[in-house]
């Protein structure tokens, strides 16, 4: 792995940055990192990049393969490809997937392989209080089982699904956003039949 490839990988995994952003955050010229593909970097500029990324210069140079404390090596055999869905609705047999947007990976250790999973591309800002923003990817375990206040993918009245905190009692279902601009939605009696739990949120992912 070259120096630039190592910087690119570290920046993406540790900070979610590309090379341009890494250069800007490090206070060096945008073209500097790209020149390192063929030129030896100045020591002070390389040190600035390493400090910004929270790693050692030796790590970027490949002299020390110890990963930063919040990074973990992942074996490609431990990765599972899972479909990304833009929209979920109620279908004849339960959930209908629409707008299939390719696939994303999850690690085996994060999954219970007795269940099915899908990534749901988040729309809207109703869950920003939980750090879930528009265009994030939400990993959903297909299940109707959940604990009160869990975040679930919910389909309301057969239409487009949404992420909400769900609280269920004998007589009601409450869907609660984490953005205070949105009021909780209450469903009682027969209205409870309008709610279909598509699955439970496991994790989120953001791309830059």
The per-residue pLDDT for 71 is 54
Lowest mean pLDDT: which of 24-38, 56-70, 119-133?
A: 56-70
- Measure the N-to-C terminal CA separation of the chain; round to a whole number of Å: 22
- Mean pLDDT calculated for residue range 131-154: 93
Tokens coding 140: 């959903």
Q: Would you please indicate which residues are annotated as catalytic (active-site) residues?
A: 126, 164
Q: Does residue 64 have a pLDDT over 70?
A: no
Average model confidence (pLDDT) across the chain: 87
Paired tokens of 86: 């833009």
Of residues 105 and 68, more confidently modeled: 105
pLDDT at 90: 77
Q: State mean pLDDT over 131-153.
A: 93
pLDDT at 108: 87
What is d(CA 205, CA 119) in angstroms, rounded to the nearest whole number? 9
Residue 49 host element (H or E): helix 43-53
């Amino acid at each position: 792995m070259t120096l630039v490839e190592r910087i690119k990988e570290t920046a993406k995994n540790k900070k979610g940055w590309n090379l341009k952003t890494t250069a800007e955050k490090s206070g060096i010229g945008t073209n500097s990192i790209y020149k390192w593909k063929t030129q030896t970097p100045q020591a002070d500029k390389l040190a600035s990049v390493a400090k910004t990324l929270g790693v050692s210069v030796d790590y970027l140079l490949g002299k020390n393969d110890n990963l930063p404390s919040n990074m973990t090596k992942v074996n490609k055999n431990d990765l599972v490809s899972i479909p990304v869905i833009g929209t979920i609705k109620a279908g004849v047999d339960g959930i209908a997937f629409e707008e299939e947007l390719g696939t994303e990976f999850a690690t085996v250790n994060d999954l219970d392989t007795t269940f099915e999973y899908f990534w749901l591309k988040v729309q809207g800002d109703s869950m920003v209080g939980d750090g879930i923003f528009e265009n994030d990817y939400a990993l959903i375990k297909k299940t109707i089982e959940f604990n009160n206040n869990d975040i679930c993918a919910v389909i309301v009245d057969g239409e487009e699904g949404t992420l909400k905190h769900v609280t269920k009692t004998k007589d009601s279902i409450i869907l609660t956003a984490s953005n205070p601009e949105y009021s909780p939605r209450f469903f009682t009696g027969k209205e409870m039949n309008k709610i279909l739990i598509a699955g439970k949120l496991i994790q989120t992912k953001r791309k830059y």
